[in-house]
Amino acid sequence: MLSHWLKIRKHLFLFGCFYLLIVFSSNKGNLYAQDPFAKIAILKGSNAIFRVSTLDQLNSGVTLTSWSKVQLYFNNSSCTGWELTISADNVALVSPTDSIPLSSLLLEPVITNQVGEPNLQISSPSFSPTTADVWMLKGDGTSNVLIEFSLTYKLGTAAPLLNFDSGYYLVGLSINLSPINYIP
């Protein structure tokens, strides 16, 4: 008789845990991972890993053309515009045996779709990220702005990589979309 009650209590406990897991993992109400007025989606190519293995790659560099595709949405009339910034999590691209300075990496954003932003500004045709936020795109649209762009990554195209080991190199990049002159 006691073992029967223990089984029932065990099943009720497991059912309760399962129920709580379902309730708290569902996204009901106003729970947002991002600001509901500013959203970024990586549509393609969230990781750029550079494989440097041939003499030609060490001499001429590695290009990942249109590797990442990013979409941003902005809709906030409580500000004067928006800004998209990018930063690196390290001062170098790292591999298990070596590291390449971040200044050897060039990023090239190319706009592929633009809605609701009449004054889109691009920082420059190509730039190197840093560990501090560097603005990449900005605009003064505040209503239903939708921008899609691709990112091309160029490693070692400006200066050869001959002094570095061959291998796989990577660096984490963070993209941030924020309002300009936000008025609460």
Q: What SS3 class is residue 181? A: coil
Distance of alpha carbon 14 from alpha carbon 150, whole angstroms = 47
Cα(first)–Cα(last) distance of the chain, in Å?
64
Residue extents of the structural domains in the chain: 38-180
Which DSSP letter does residue 80 get? S
Please give the pLDDT value at position 154.
Answer: 97
- Residues of the chain falling short of pLDDT 50: 11-33
**pLDDT for the residue numbered 2:** 55
Q: Centre a 10 Å sphere on the Cβ of residue 178 and count the other Cβ atoms it contains.
A: 17
Taking the CB of residue 52, how many other CB atoms lie within 10 A of it? 21
What span, in angstroms and rounded, lies between the C-alpha atoms of 100 and 156? 9
Would you state the pLDDT for residue 8?
57
> CA dist 69 to 15, 136, 155, Å?
42, 14, 18
pTM: 0.78
CATH architecture of 38-180: Sandwich (2.60)
